[in-house]
Amino acid sequence: MAKTLLLLFALLTLFSRITHQQELFFEGFNGGEAAANMSLNGGAVIHQGGTLGLTNDTKRVLGHAFYSTPIQFKNKSKVVSFSTAFAFAIVPQYPTLGGHGFAFTISPSKDLPNGYPSQYMGLLGPKNVGNFSNHLFAVEFDTVQDFEFGDINDNHVGINLNNMASNKSVKATLNLKSGKVIQAWVDYHSSKNQLEVRLSQTSTKPNSPILSYEVDLSPILQHSMYVGFSSSTGLLASSHYILGWSFNINNNNGDYAKTLSLKNLPPLPSRDKPHRRALILGLSLSASIFLLCSIAVPFYLIRKLRNAEVIEPWELEVGPHRFRYKELKKATRNFHHKNMLGFGGFGAVFKGTLESNTEIAVKRVSHDSKQGFQEFVSEIETIGRLRHRNLVQLLGWCRNRADLLLVYDFMPNGSLDKHLFEDSARKTLTWEQRFKIVKGVASGLLYLHEEWEQTVIHRDIKAGNVLLDGDMNARLGDFGLAKLYDRGSNPSTTRVVGTLGYLAPELTKTGRPSTSSDVYAFGALLLEVVCGRRPVEAKAMPEELLLVEWVWERWRVGAVLEVLDSKLGGIYDVVEVVVVIKLGLLCSCEVPEMRPSMRQVVRFLEGEVPLPEVIPPPDGFGAGKGVGTAYGGNTWLSAVDDDVEDGSGLSVLLSGTGDEGR
């Protein structure tokens, strides 16, 4: 009986603890009380002055700080009104580049075990993002534009429901990452199903919200939830601080959380030196312990630093990051020539094996370091966010003086040109494989052109840049690089980057690459795959020099199957072959406007739409021009740099008109 009573009493006190804990007010988090009520994990710490730090300048860390007792959010099944105000400061490592951001969070747990750093802000991870069973509500203060989640810019406030893609977001009216203290108010009116966010640099609550969103949170939140903050850093880091917090949960809409008076808040911590405290501690101990420490501490620190640099396999999933030069040197056995896979568009490529046994390909690009470091990092982050099953994934990078190292997924079957042109012991590609490769490249290129937030022009589509994974799926490599490469060069002299035979004729005139110049190069690739020949063949008979003209000529006289690669041994699907040849010719059209878009190309290849009956002659062939003139006359041929790559065609660097710089 006594036991039952005790249990009842315990339950009652627990219950009252949950229901009656309705107002929180922290002007700083100093003193045992506040600290005792906050549950911290990850990189979160309470600094000496009383400021709560969620993250610091360390890369790829997350920090959580939640009120340690759950709060009752529902009356029956309806979420009641709630209101909060908090003062924060975001101090980025590099003044103009934020390191992700933080979010006011209401969550079923206070340690968010599925949270990843970087763009996930410690809230969710790739496996549960968007899942309704997350029951997660967050107001994000985001300082990085993540295209993956449709971010509007790199300085916005968004409402996230179970997801990292915001249900509603607005550009912030203040610079969130200015390093200055900003107060934010979040109010939910249950009767109106209205959520409002306000921002100010003062202690006065503004009349008008910057964001107002009509939403019933009842399906999102559960009865009992934790409230607090979550934050993370990525490749770039920021220190995220919360200086004060007030929260109020109520059932009548009049009661708002108390506004914070900024002058009562603790100061921002000065950047403290990392291991000083540990050393001071060591010094204050007795001599023998000191001796022990002086051996143990550095040992511990070295180990810790080492561990911090070891890249976990999951990190590779999250986004590109910076590798240590030493690590890549070791992985590639000091860039040993035996590990060299070949020359790609911009430099030599080496095979490597990380300590985690992950196989990688390391591209070593010599880079002129005129380009600003921050700009360069942003660019790499952008390239790294491009994700598609037909693209070679960029895993990370490293910069060591004039060397720029880019780390990619390793592709065990090498590049397409080797399979097409090298008479080694390799098995010849079957028609089925070739058709699958062609469709894969088309799908990857469509993603770059149309399916991503920004249009990415590849600029160097060719067989040497099509890599084959373990299942012989095509993966496009070197995307995004041309732009990066160009950044460092003088804008008044545009360089046309590309490969002879794949260069659209208009490129040599305007120097301005476009999606249709990529389509032109893709056309050349299609013909190459069918014919098993390079677009420009030095050894061929003069009339066969340019592949596209030869194919067109055969097409015209009705003998198109003569162009097929003899290595196919006559085994192929004639309908598919004709589609690929016709499409190759269509994409090779001299007039850019007459070439199909990649979306149309994909439809043609999938057989969703039939190809037009009449194909215009490529490169003004019908106008009776001779060989050579087809690519815009011979004038520029003399300008071909003899910067010859791996025999997969001639690489061309031309001085252009500078149109692109406009």
Ligand X SMILES: *[C@@H]1O[C@H](CO)[C@@H](O)[C@H](O)[C@H]1NC(C)=O
Q: Of the candidates 16, 48, 167, 202, which one interacts with ligand X according to CB under 6 A?
A: 167
Rounded (10°) angle between helices 574-587 and 547-556: 120
- Contact between 161 and ligand X by CB under 6 A: the answer reads yes
CB of 599 to ligand X, least distance (A): 24
Nearest to ligand X of 161, 225 (CB atom): 161
Q: Which residues partner with 180 through β-bridges?
A: none
**Nearest residue to 480 (alpha-carbon basis) of 360, 370, 372, 397:** 397
CB of 590 to ligand X, least distance (A): 44
Q: Of the candidates 1, 2, 5, 36, which one interacts with ligand X according to CB under 6 A?
A: 36
Binding track over 196-235 against ligand X, x by CB under 6 A: -------------------x--------------------
Nearest to ligand X of 33, 368 (CB atom): 33
How far, in Å, are 40, 423, 426, 556 from residue 384 at the CA level?
A: 31, 35, 32, 44
Nearest to ligand X of 2, 36 (CB atom): 36
Tell me which residue has its CB nearest to ligand X: 43
Size of the site for ligand X (CB under 6 A): 20
CA 397: distance to chain centroid? Answer: 13
Tokens of 422: 């090298």
- DSSP H or E segment with residue 616: none
CA distance 334 to 352: 10
CB of 455 to ligand X, least distance (A): 24
Binding track over 556-585 against ligand X, x by CB under 6 A: ------------------------------
CB under 6 A: which stretch of 127-135, 327-335, 557-565, 628-636 binds ligand X? 127-135
Nearest to ligand X of 251, 493 (CB atom): 251
DSSP 485: H
Q: Are 605 and 638 in contact (CB under 8 A)?
A: no
Q: Is 363 annotated as a binding residue?
A: yes
Q: Determine whether 460 is an active site residue.
A: yes
Q: Specify the length of the chain in residues.
A: 662
Residue 44's φ and ψ, nearest 5 degrees, are -70, 135
- Contact between 301 and ligand X by CB under 6 A: the answer reads no
CB of 44 to ligand X, least distance (A): 8
- Identify the active-site residue in 142, 154, 187, 460: 460
CB of 639 to ligand X, least distance (A): 51
Placement of tokens 């975001």 in the chain: 90
Q: Which residues contact 125 (CB under 8 A, 6 or more apart)?
A: 114, 115, 116
Q: Of the candidates 163, 246, 382, 415, which one interacts with ligand X according to CB under 6 A?
A: 163
Residue 101's φ and ψ, nearest 5 degrees, are 145, -165
Torsion of CA 277, 279, 281, 285, to 10 degrees: -170
DSSP of 153-221: -SSEEEEEESSSS-SEEEE-SS-GGGSS-EEEEEEEETTTTEEEEEEESSSS--SS-SEEEE---TTTS
Nearest to ligand X of 125, 501 (CB atom): 125
Q: Of the candidates 153, 202, 204, 251, which one interacts with ligand X according to CB under 6 A?
A: 251
Q: Are 417 and 463 in contact (CB under 8 A)?
A: yes
Nearest to ligand X of 253, 430 (CB atom): 253
Tokens of 168: 């509603």
- Contact between 279 and ligand X by CB under 6 A: the answer reads no
CB of 75 to ligand X, least distance (A): 3
Q: Show contacts with ligand X in window 51-70 (CB under 6 A).
A: 56, 58, 61
- Contact between 133 and ligand X by CB under 6 A: the answer reads yes
How far, in Å, are 2, 13, 196 from residue 5 at the CA level?
A: 5, 12, 45
**Nearest residue to 64 (alpha-carbon basis) of 30, 114, 111:** 111
CB of 58 to ligand X, least distance (A): 4
Nearest to ligand X of 276, 337 (CB atom): 276
Nearest to ligand X of 43, 352 (CB atom): 43
Q: Of the candidates 18, 165, 540, 578, which one interacts with ligand X according to CB under 6 A?
A: 165
CA distance 404 to 572: 43
Nearest to ligand X of 270, 454 (CB atom): 270
CB under 6 A: which stretch of 10-18, 36-44, 290-298, 322-330 binds ligand X? 36-44
Rounded (10°) angle between helices 431-446 and 515-531: 170
DSSP of 359-371: EEEEEEEE--TTS
Q: Show contacts with ligand X in window 69-98 (CB under 6 A).
A: 75
Q: Of the candidates 33, 309, 422, 451, which one interacts with ligand X according to CB under 6 A?
A: 33
Q: Of the candidates 13, 131, 334, 490, which one interacts with ligand X according to CB under 6 A?
A: 131
CB of 230 to ligand X, least distance (A): 14
Q: Are 258 and 203 in contact (CB under 8 A)?
A: no
Q: How many other β-carbons are positioned within 10 Å of the β-carbon of residue 363?
A: 23
- Contact between 30 and ligand X by CB under 6 A: the answer reads no
Mark the binding-site residues for ATP, compressed into ranges: 363
Residues that bind ligand X (CB under 6 A): 24, 33, 36-37, 43, 56, 58, 61, 75, 128, 131, 133, 161, 163, 165, 167, 215, 251, 272, 274
Mark the binding-site residues, compressed into ranges: 363
Q: Would you please indicate which residues are annotated as catalytic (active-site) residues?
A: 460
